[in-house]
């Protein structure tokens, strides 16, 4: 018989904290975009988060050194994982309600399965089919609303799906890489390389922000992104990924769009529509079918 995972109280507390931090981060980012343009937002928060993680892991005595031969591979991995996902998703968020963007962004586990199938790492089965149908329904519901709305921005839906695909591609590339380095080290250096790229791209694509005109609320929202989203949440995630089964992270990921949709009402005043809730349910079904493993049959 296989041993079932029995979560401790601390495990459950960390899962809830991670889900809340990631979920609330979507309306917090939308709040920031009222005063700060998308690429400048990414440059500031990702740089701060990467430096915070670098200091924390160094303080913990973790070896973050990267051999010279691995820098090319890390830069290659940073293209989809950092520039693709973080860049496209923040541009998409700037044109969508935060709850809707979170729902669209979290189709990424479905894209991961599809990329794995294309690369021959996984076989197409009934669960994958259900996952794809549910995710497609979610995207269709929200895209239709954007097309029908007077001020809708359907192109933002494409930006979000492009970001979700990049996240999936990056996940598969990380899984196939054989660098022999701690995940924490690879993530920190990918973030730092990505931050440098955002600092180069932002001045070319967007006007310089007027720092003196930024409100206190904006600075608090940026602090949230640096300390909680990029900092504390990442540390929790690394700790969980090493100890907990895939089903635990799947349940956490399933709840993030719901938390984002709920909290958006209080943070940025967005009222979710029936199509938003229907799409959120579809995405939860899609993530469950894609990530939660089939329980093995027990036998003597």
CA distance 238 to 232: 10
Instruction: Give the domain range for residue 116.
Output: 9-291
In a domain, 124, yes or no: yes
In a domain, 2, yes or no: no
Which pLDDT band holds residue 151 (cuts at 50, 70, 90)?
A: low
Q: Please state, as a whole number, how many other Cβ atoms lie within 10 Å of the Cβ of residue 244.
A: 16
**Confidence (pLDDT) at 150:** 54
Mean pLDDT of 5-14: 72
Segment 241-292, tens digit of pLDDT: 666 666 666 677 888 999 999 999 999 999 998 999 999 999 989 888 877 7
Q: Tell me how many degrees the CA angle 58-29-188 measures, rounded to the nearest 5.
A: 20
Could you tell me which of 43, 78, 82 has the C-alpha nearest to residue 201?
Answer: 43
Q: Structurally, how many domains does the chain consist of?
A: 1
Any domain includes 265: yes
For residues 235 and 27, is the Cβ–Cβ distance under 8 A?
no
Residue 81 structure tokens: 């994982």
Q: Is 0.75 surpassed by the pTM of this model? A: yes
Distance CA 159, CA 178 (A): 30
Percent of the chain with pLDDT over 70: 90
Q: Which of the two residues, 67 and 125, has the higher pLDDT score?
A: 67
Residue at 4 is within a domain: no
Residue 299 lies in a domain: no
Collect contacts of 119-123 with beta carbons under 8 A, ≥24 apart. 119/172, 119/176, 121/172
The answer as to whether 3 is a domain residue is: no
Residue 296 lies in a domain: no
**Which of 13-27, 104-118, 220-234, 243-257 is the least confident region?**
243-257
CA 290/CA 127 separation, integer angstroms: 7
pLDDT tens track for 20-36: 999 999 999 999 999 99
Residue 75 lies in a domain: yes
Local confidence band at 147 (pLDDT 50, 70, 90 cut-offs): confident
293 vs 142, which has greater pLDDT?
A: 142
């Amino acid at each position: 018989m296989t041993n079932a995972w029995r979560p401790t109280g601390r495990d459950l507390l960390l899962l809830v904290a991670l889900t809340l931090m990631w979920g609330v981060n979507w309306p917090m980012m939308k709040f920031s975009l009222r005063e700060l343009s998308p690429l400048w937002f990414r440059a500031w928060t990702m740089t701060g988060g990467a430096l915070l993680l670098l200091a924390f892991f160094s303080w913990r005595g973790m070896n973050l050194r990267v051999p010279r031969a691995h820098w090319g591979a890390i830069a290659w991995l940073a293209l989809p994982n950092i520039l693709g996902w973080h860049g496209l998703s923040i541009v998409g968020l700037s044109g969508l309600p935060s709850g809707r963007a979170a729902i669209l962004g979290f189709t990424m586990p479905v894209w991961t399965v599809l990329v794995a199938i294309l690369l021959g790492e996984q076989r197409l089965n009934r669960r994958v089919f259900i996952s794809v149908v549910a995710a497609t329904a979610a995207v269709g519901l929200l895209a239709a609303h954007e097309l029908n709305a007077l001020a809708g921005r359907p192109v933002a839906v494409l930006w979000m799906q492009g970001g979700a695909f990049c996240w999936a591609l990056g996940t598969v590339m990380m899984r196939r890489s054989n660098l022999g380095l701690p995940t924490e080290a690879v993530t920190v250096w990918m973030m730092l390389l990505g931050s440098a790229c955002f600092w180069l791209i932002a001045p070319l694509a967007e006007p310089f922000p007027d720092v003196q005109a930024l409100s206190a609320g904006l600075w608090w929202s940026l602090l949230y992104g640096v300390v909680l989203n990029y900092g504390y949440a990442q540390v929790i995630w690394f700790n969980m990924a090493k100890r907990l089964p895939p089903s635990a992270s799947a349940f956490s990921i399933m709840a993030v769009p719901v938390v984002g949709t709920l909290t958006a009402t209080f943070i940025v005043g967005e009222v979710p529509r029936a199509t938003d809730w229907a799409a959120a349910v579809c995405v939860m079904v899609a993530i469950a079918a894609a990530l939660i493993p089939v329980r093995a049959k027990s036998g003597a």
